Every structure is written in C-alpha cells, then in structure tokens.
C-alpha cells in the first residue's frame, strides 16, 4: 500500500480525531483503545497496513501489538495481508447478502 492509499483510508478512520496517546497504551487501557475500532469503516485497511508494514506499537485495526505478532507467527507465508483481508471481507459480504431468485427463497 502506498502513502496515498493510507491517506485515503486514514481520513475515514474513527480514530482520526482521537488523541494518539490513547491508541498507544499498555495493559487494560488497550481494551478502551480497541473499542474505538469497533464499527470503524476502515478497520480492515488499518489492520492490513499494520500487518504488512510490521508496525510494532499501538492499536491498529482493533488488534494489539501482541495479537498482531501472534497472527504473523501463525501465518508466516502471507505476503499481502491487504489482499488476504480484502478477499476475506468480499467473501463474507457475498455470503452475508441474500441471493435473489433461488428456489429456496420464500416469496412474501
């Protein structure tokens, strides 16, 4: 992801107006910081950016640095977290949206 891409999604991030000191915290304060990510429209982009760039500090995409390290260890062969997470999001949306015109649909 280039800087322009980050700038575009960063403008839509829920945390853009938060005090950065609230996002780079330790201990139980991390749960409050992670709560900012709930429902954020660019959570996936944010997490992918942190994973692809191996960012070690702060809450990114709703994950702590410890959670991101564990994910990176579990999936060492991933070369682009952005592609992987975008594909997963697309698949989730495809499965979540009702298919029209199938025999199993109940007509109202």
Backbone angles phi, psi at 52, to 5 degrees: -65, -30
Write out pLDDT tens, residues 35-71: 999 989 999 999 999 999 999 999 999 999 999 999 9
Q: Is the pLDDT of residue 101 over 70?
A: no
Write out pLDDT tens, residues 14-36: 999 999 888 899 888 999 899 99
Question: What is d(CA 8, CA 54) in angstroms, rounded to the nearest whole number?
Answer: 20
Backbone angles phi, psi at 17, to 5 degrees: -100, 0
Query: How many percent of the chain have pLDDT more than 70?
Result: 83
The rounded radius of gyration (Å) of the Cα atoms in the chain is 17
What is this structure's pTM?
0.77
Q: Is the pLDDT of residue 80 over 90?
A: yes
Q: Is the pLDDT of residue 10 over 80?
A: yes
């Amino acid at each position: 992801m280039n800087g322009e891409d980050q700038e575009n999604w960063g403008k839509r991030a829920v945390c853009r107006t938060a005090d950065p000191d609230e996002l780079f915290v330790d201990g139980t304060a991390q749960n409050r910081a992670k709560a900012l990510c709930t429902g954020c429209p660019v959570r996936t982009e944010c997490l992918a950016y942190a994973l692809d760039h191996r960012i070690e500090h702060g809450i990114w995409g709703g994950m702590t640095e410890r959670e991101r390290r564990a994910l990176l260890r579990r999936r060492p062969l991933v070369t682009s977290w952005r592609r992987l997470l975008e594909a997963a999001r697309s698949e989730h949306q495809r499965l979540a949206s009702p298919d029209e015109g199938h025999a199993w649909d109940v007509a109202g």
